[in-house]
Chain A
């Protein structure tokens, strides 16, 4: 089997205590692509945003399960975060920076904006009362040449 193709999936309860576990497990899996520290930080932030959204919005802090699948194909990592929560009524509006449906919980509406800023691609699919699937993609190592030049 090709060393550079790899798949991993984890599923866990929707509790805030699992947020750090989620981002660390994805970061550890991606580590074999030799990402830079900045790339790892980007992935951790994006995973944290998606998982936090499932907990707060998808399951509204009630019981539920969150699944993260991670595919590595060559130098590209694809992360899919799935919940079976309430779903998003208007995805376009939800993805606007500063839009939040929960200002009373001190949310600032930056989650999707950070996922977009730190990953190369972001897709959101959702169904009311069905759940939400967030797919994020990032090419690892595309800035490494530039880095090497800067260091030399």
Chain B
């Protein structure tokens, strides 16, 4: 299940979230991202919701936690491919105050490069 969950390019981590993001699956993802963060430099994270049909507060906690990690390097967290169901819980959660919502992975990557051009490395 954890196969092909991640893509890492140019210090951008693209994380394809599972069908159901709860305490159980969030724990597995956290372990894998902790390993990645330990050995690679990651400045921005894109959470891809295209396969996700369920999320609860554990998913909110996962994203908030990764947000705190990339903020050290002044990076951003992106949420993309949000469906109607996910939109409801995300908007109640207040996550949009810290994470950037965009339509697609490509749009998020573009935004990363735009923002990097405008700040010293």
Query: Which of A's residues lie within 8 Å of B, judged by CB?
Result: 16-17, 19-20, 23, 37-38, 41, 44-45, 48-49, 52, 55-56, 105-108, 110-111, 113-114, 117
Query: Which of B's residues lie within 8 Å of A, judged by CB?
Result: 20, 22-24, 27, 30, 54, 56-58, 60-62, 64-65, 85, 88-89, 92-93
Complex: A4 Cα to B40 Cα, angstroms:
57
- Pairwise interchain contact A106-B56, C-beta atoms closer than 8 A: no
**In the complex, what residue of chain A is closest to B55 when comparing beta carbons?**
A45
Partner of B56, one of A37, A48, A55, A105: A48
Interface of chain B, main secondary structure: helix
- Pairwise interchain contact A48-B22, C-beta atoms closer than 8 A: yes
- Pairwise interchain contact B89-A114, C-beta atoms closer than 8 A: yes
Cβ-Cβ contact count across A and B, 8 Å cutoff = 59
Min CB–CB distance B85 → chain A (angstroms): 5
Q: Known interface pairs A17-B24, A19-B22, A114-B92. Does A106 touch B30 (Cβ–Cβ under 8 Å)?
A: yes
Complex: A106 Cα to B57 Cα, angstroms:
10
A19: B residues at CB distance < 8 A: 22-24
A113: B residues at CB distance < 8 A: 92
Q: Known interface pairs A20-B20, A106-B65. Does A49 touch B27 (Cβ–Cβ under 8 Å)?
A: no
Partner of A49, one of B24, B56, B93: B56
- Pairwise interchain contact A106-B64, C-beta atoms closer than 8 A: yes
B60: A residues at CB distance < 8 A: 108, 110
- Pairwise interchain contact A107-B57, C-beta atoms closer than 8 A: yes
